[in-house]
Chain A
Amino acid sequence: DAKTTQPPSMDCAEGRAANLPCNHSTISGNEYVYWYRQIHSQGPQYIIHGLKNNETNEMASLIITEDRKSSTLILPHATLRDTAVYYCILYNQGGKLIFGQGTELSVKP
């Protein structure tokens, strides 16, 4: 199964852009990249997803490299409420979404 690799933790200053990297070198051609976040022990929250092109919504931007082996989630102006664990996930056609360990993002004043 395709898996993702993320740094275990990152810090970001409030008001600055947070750039969260994800490696997925074994991604299959038709797999989407999804990003979720989990604040404390709440249920994970969907952020954004993409296949090949860069995507943007009201929460974040997703940049996927041309070879699709890595991606970056960008929170343009991080706030304290963005402190959470961020998961980069590949959709598996077998119906199994594989969550990695995620990146614990700390936004500091």
Chain B
Amino acid sequence: EAQVTQNPRYLITVTGKKLTVTCSQNMNHEYMSWYRQDPGLGLRQIYYSMNVEVTDKGDVPEGYKVSRKEKRNFPLILESPSPNQTSLYFCASSLSKGRASPLHFGNGTRLTVT
């Protein structure tokens, strides 16, 4: 089944403890992206990648890192998480950056930083 898989679904951690949220897609998509969703603020893009080894900042990149060493994987790294990064995170992918390529979203990772 074609899908975007995020892990973990839920994560509770403490301030400053490095963590990684994994994202994998099995559709051979070139474009991948991370979003965070907060009440009243909607979905905001954190980082995106147009292909392997190509990443760029979205609207809210501060405090996050990403890497794209393989086409299928696009992990989100929080080197030193803070409580303001408590949020619902979504990974998404599409065939290309092209305008006729719909995004496929994962089921989300709910992160709580205490």
Binding site for B on A (CB under 8 A): 30-32, 34, 36, 41-46, 49, 51, 87, 91, 95-102
Contacts and interface: CB of A to CB of B under 8 A. Distances in A.
B108 A42 contact: yes
A85 B45 CA distance: 18
B99 A31 contact: yes
Interface in B83-114: 88, 90, 92, 97, 99-100, 102-108, 110
Given A95-B97, A97-B103, A43 B56 contact: no
A87 B90 CA distance: 15
Contact of A46 (B35, B42, B103): B103
A87 B105 CA distance: 14
A49 to B, nearest CB: 7
B39 to A, nearest CB: 11
Interface residues of B, number: 27
| Contact residues of A: prevailing secondary structure | loop
Nearest to B56: A95
A99 B106 contact: no
| Contact residues of B: prevailing secondary structure | strand
B44 interface: yes
A8 B4 CA distance: 29
A101 B104 contact: no
Interface in B30-54: 31, 33, 35, 42-45, 48, 50
A46 B101 CA distance: 10
Given A96-B45, A96-B59, A102-B42, A44 B90 contact: yes
Contacts of B102: 34, 46, 49
Contacts of B50: 95
Q: Determine which residue in A34, A43, A100 has the highest number of CB atoms from chain B within 10 A of its CB, and name it.
A: A43
B100 A49 contact: yes
Contacts of A99: 35, 42-44
27 contacts: A31-B99, A32-B100, A34-B102, A41-B88, A41-B108, A41-B110, A43-B4, A43-B107, A43-B108, A44-B43, A44-B92, A44-B105, A45-B105, A46-B102, A46-B103, A46-B104, A51-B99, A87-B43, A95-B97, A96-B48, A96-B59, A97-B33, A97-B45, A97-B103, A99-B43, A99-B44, A102-B42
